[in-house]
Amino acid sequence: MNEIFRGKAWSFGFRSAIMIYFLCLIVLPIVGIYTQSFSLGWTPFWESVSDPLAWKAVLLTLKLALIATVLNMLIGTMIGWVLIRYRFPGRSILNSLVDLPFALPTAVGGLLILLLLGPNSLIGMLAGKIGIEIVFHEPAIVIAMLFVTFPFVIRAIQPLLEELDRSEEEAAYTLGASKAKTFFSVIFPTMLPGILSGAMLAFSRGLAEFGAVVLVAGNIPGKTLVASVFIFGEIESNNPQGAAAVSVMLLTLSFLILWLVNQLQARRSTP
């Protein structure tokens, strides 16, 4: 079989299929968005972007996605560590449950948050008593982002931890290093590329989140309206240029992050 696929015609066919796929599904839509947003020239683009509601939405999204990412780095690192380093009943089930947010429609995630943390729920009521409002405020958005980006950091550090040879730690011990020193100078540097690349993916996914956020954010323009919901609103109110302008900002950010992730991974393979 292998021999057949190595033939010239097959090879050409495969490569063309991939190029066409790439062109139709990735390059064309992206170019479309850029042309759409600049279709009326720089000035309307600039106007759309400098609309306070637009850039406030983008800034809010950036801020909340950043918070969610930092939380993810902490929690994800801990969970990844526990799942690899500890043996306990239910570990493999927990390990497969990590991917649940990827499998679940994000709207379901949003609904879960509404039900669990909403004003009528126990937690929502308790939080309300001490003056914290979760749902329809920023905390809910962060929680929604946290929920959908949960697997990234965990899945990025797990292979690195598995690869880390136990004897590397033991070598550090025999060289006189304490457990803490060993963690910070041997284990943590091994995990760091995973934490960073996982965090960047989580960040760009957080920026883009719509389904879960739209249900719990309240979507008050200028206050709890995130970029993706803003785009949706612009389309609804028949303003594709406005939508495209914000899209371009998000897209450019995503590209930047993707490039950074690549740089990180390249450095990892040839340090």
Partner 1 sequence: MHIEVRGLNKSFGDFNAVKDVSFDIEKGKLIGLLGPSGGGKTSILRMLAGLETPTSGDIVFHGQRVNDLPPQERGIGFVFQNYALFKHMTVYDNVAFGLKVKKLSKEKIRERVMYLIELTGLKGFEHRYPHQLSGGQRQRVAFARALAPEPQLLLLDEPFAAIDAKIRTELRTWLKEMIERVGITSIFVTHDQEEAIEVADEIMIISKGRLEQKGSPWDIYKNPETPFVASFIGESTIVEDISILKGFESLSDQPGTKALIRPEYIEHGKPGEIKLASAATTATVRQLHFRGSEWMVELAIGDTKLITYRSLEREVLQVGGQVQVLVHRAYMFNDDDSWIMENPLKVDPMPIHI
Per CB under 8 A, residues contacting partner 1 are: 165, 167-168, 170-178, 181, 185-186, 189-190, 271
Q: How far is the CB of 270 from partner 1 (least distance, A)?
A: 9
Taking the least distance from each CB to partner 1, the nearer of 98 and 177 is: 177
CB of 180 to partner 1, least distance (A): 11
Comparison of 116 and 186: residue with beta carbon closer to partner 1: 186
SS3 content of the chain, % helix, strand, coil (to 5): 80, 0, 20
Tell me how far apart the alpha carbons of residues 148 and 68 are, in angstroms, rounded to a whole number: 10
- What is the C-alpha separation between 235 and 222, in angstroms, rounded? 18
Cβ proximity to partner 1: between 63 and 181 the closer is 181
Least distance from partner 1 to the Cβ atom of residue 175, Å: 4
Q: Is 77 helix (H, G, I), strand (E, B) or coil?
A: helix
Dist. CA 190–CA 206, nearest whole Å: 25
CA angle 122/124/130 to nearest 5° reads: 105
Of the pair 103, 175, the CB lying nearest partner 1 is at: 175
Give dist(CA 255, CA 78) in Å, integer.
28
Under DSSP, the state recorded for 132 is -
Closest contact distance (angstroms) between CB of 194 and partner 1 is: 12
User: Looking at beta carbons only, is 187 or 199 nearer to partner 1?
Assistant: 187
At its nearest, how many Å lie between partner 1 and the CB of residue 269? 9
- Residue 106 has which token pair? 């994000």
